[in-house]
Amino acid sequence: MNYMLFKNDLTTWAIALTITCCICLLLYAIRQLAVRRLHRHAQTTTTYIDDAAVKVLSATHVLFMLMVALFVGSQWVDLSDPVTLRLTRLALAALLLQVARWGDVGIREWLEHYRQQRIAEDIASTTSTAVVGFLLRLALWVVILLMILDNFGVNITTLVASLGIGGIAVALALQNILGDLLSSLSIVLDKPFVVGDFIIIDEIAGTVEHIGLKTTRIRSLSGEQIVFSNSDMLKSRIRNYKRMETRRIVFPIQVVYQTSQENVRAIPQLLREAVEAQPLAQFDRAHFKACGPSALEFETVYIVQSSEYRAYMDIQQNINMQLFERFAELGIKFAHPTQTLQLARAAA
Contact 312, 250 (CB under 8 A): no
Q: What's the pLDDT score for residue 60? A: 87
Q: What's the pLDDT score for residue 5? A: 60
Supply the pTM of this predicted model.
Answer: 0.53
**Which residues does residue 216 pair with via DSSP β-bridges, in sequence order?**
211, 228
> Half-sphere exposure of 85 toward its Cβ, with a 13 Å CA cutoff?
6
Q: What's the pLDDT score for residue 176? A: 66
From the CB of residue 114, how many other CB atoms can be counted at a distance below 10 Å?
Answer: 17
**Rounded Cα–Cα distance for residues 4 and 1 (Å):** 10
**Rounded Cα–Cα distance for residues 261 and 5 (Å):** 121
| Domain 247-330 top-level CATH class | alpha beta
**Rounded Cα–Cα distance for residues 214 and 231 (Å):** 8
Q: What's the pLDDT score for residue 68? A: 87
Q: How far is CA 203 from CA 110, 135, 206, 209, in A?
A: 39, 36, 10, 18
Q: What's the pLDDT score for residue 174? A: 55
Q: Where are the domains of the chain?
A: 4-118, 247-330
**Rounded Cα–Cα distance for residues 172 and 259 (Å):** 71
**Rounded Cα–Cα distance for residues 267 and 276 (Å):** 14
Q: How far is CA 117 from CA 56, 128, 274, 332, in A?
A: 20, 14, 45, 58
Digits of tens for pLDDT over the chain (348 positions)?
466 666 667 777 788 888 889 988 998 898 889 888 888 887 887 777 877 888 888 888 888 888 888 888 888 777 777 878 888 888 888 889 999 999 988 888 887 777 777 655 555 555 566 667 777 888 888 888 888 888 887 777 766 666 666 666 655 555 666 677 777 777 777 778 888 888 888 888 888 888 877 888 889 888 889 888 888 888 888 888 878 888 899 999 999 999 999 999 999 999 999 999 999 999 999 999 999 888 999 999 999 998 888 899 999 999 999 999 999 999 999 987 776 666 767 665
Burial class (CB in 10 A: 0-12, 13-18, 19+), 232: middle
Q: What's the pLDDT score for residue 1? A: 45
